[in-house]
Amino acid sequence: MIRNTETPSGQQGLTAALIFGSVVLLAILGAWQFADEGVAPARPEAGQVVDFAAFRRADPDDIGFREMQCFPSVVTGASGLCAIDSGICVVGSDGAVFLREDGEELGRFAFSGAATCVAAGPDQKIYIGFRDRIAVYLPSGLPAADWSSFGERAVITSVAVVDNGVVVADSGTRTVWRLDKGGRVLGRIGNTENGKGEGALRFIVPSPYFDVADGGDGTFWVANPGEQRLMRLFGAGERLEEWGVGGMGLGAFCGCCNPAHIAVLPDGGLVTSEKGIPRISEYSSAGEYRTLVASAGTFGLSVRPADLAVLKGGHIVVLDTEAQMVRVFERVPSPDSGG
């Protein structure tokens, strides 16, 4: 028996009206929530519909980088990337690939399971995150170690090699795990079972985007997306720096939970990637906004955040997970630099 699933015309009209009303209300509330004097639009008038598409565009003068390369990620389900001595390592659902900065393939290796993130150590060992564990590979692609699971609730989203240890961001438990390079757990920062972790820090992670990055000198950066903040930590969670503000404008983090991805520049500054409005921005280590690397319009209609890596020369590598492309950006020379 085939059921008639069509909605009566009167009900269709009511449904359409409710949907439109909800969109207008969300737009008003969203703009109000993210308003921040100096970096975001003013609180809208009652009944005003906010043009969120405008935030996907940017004045060319606000963009301090230009795209120099764009090539396929060449792995299935590309999900993360990192810088290596010879270029870039990209991981996906069936393996990893090594690429030069111009996209030339240098090698690849397969593994079982879908990778979520990747980092490389000074010895060029590759640390690959899966849902609940970390696996370590030699530069040749041969397996070196498979660390123990972080538990059923674990959702590993980021890994970074810090001096003689490793830090792992777990969005499932809203925890940053600290380990030695042999995979032995040294401690956890953030939300332990009793709500108190090392450093008395609390991470708000509404979605599976929770990033860490090596900050040099034994420090590391952690994104606290629900607070729209970035923190530089040392050791068991000593807080050295913290900054960030919510908003739709330049120099602010949009939506409920950003930034989604971070990377550290050679001078200690940071590059951030957002979701919703997937723009990429550059900041000083103290949180001073510098420039856009890429506007959200660079990524078409995508709302997915792009993973980030920084090469030794300062070029910024972006994994466009929507298009499954790797994009490389270089700084636009200033007019007085002669470039």
Specify whether the CB–CB gap between 321 and 304 falls below 8 A: yes
pLDDT at residue 52, rounded to an integer: 63
User: Does residue 159 carry a pLDDT above 90?
Assistant: yes
Calculate mean pLDDT across residues 86-108. Answer: 97
First-to-last C-alpha distance (Å) of the chain: 72
Concatenating the DSSP letter of every residue in 97-110 gives: EEE-TTS-EEEEEE
Indicate the average pLDDT of the chain. Answer: 85
Reported as half-sphere exposure (CB side, CA atoms, 13 A), residue 50 has a value of 24
Residue 9's SS3 state is helix
**Token pair for 144:** 């070196």
User: Does residue 145 carry a pLDDT above 70?
Assistant: yes
Calculate mean pLDDT across residues 181-196. Answer: 79
Least confident span in 97-101, 193-197, 249-253: 193-197
Calculate mean pLDDT across residues 253-267. Answer: 96
Query: 168: which strand partners?
Result: 159, 177
**pLDDT class of 328 with cuts at 50, 70, 90:** very high
**pLDDT class of 335 with cuts at 50, 70, 90:** confident
Specify whether the CB–CB gap between 170 and 155 falls below 8 A: yes
Domains, the chain: 60-332 (2.120.10.30)
> What is the pTM assigned to this prediction?
0.83
User: Does residue 239 carry a pLDDT above 60?
Assistant: yes
Query: 331: which strand partners?
Result: 65
Query: 232: which strand partners?
Result: 221, 241
Calculate mean pLDDT across residues 258-269. Answer: 97
Specify whether the CB–CB gap between 221 and 230 falls below 8 A: yes
Residue 65 parent element (H or E) = strand 65-72
User: Does residue 17 carry a pLDDT above 60?
Assistant: no
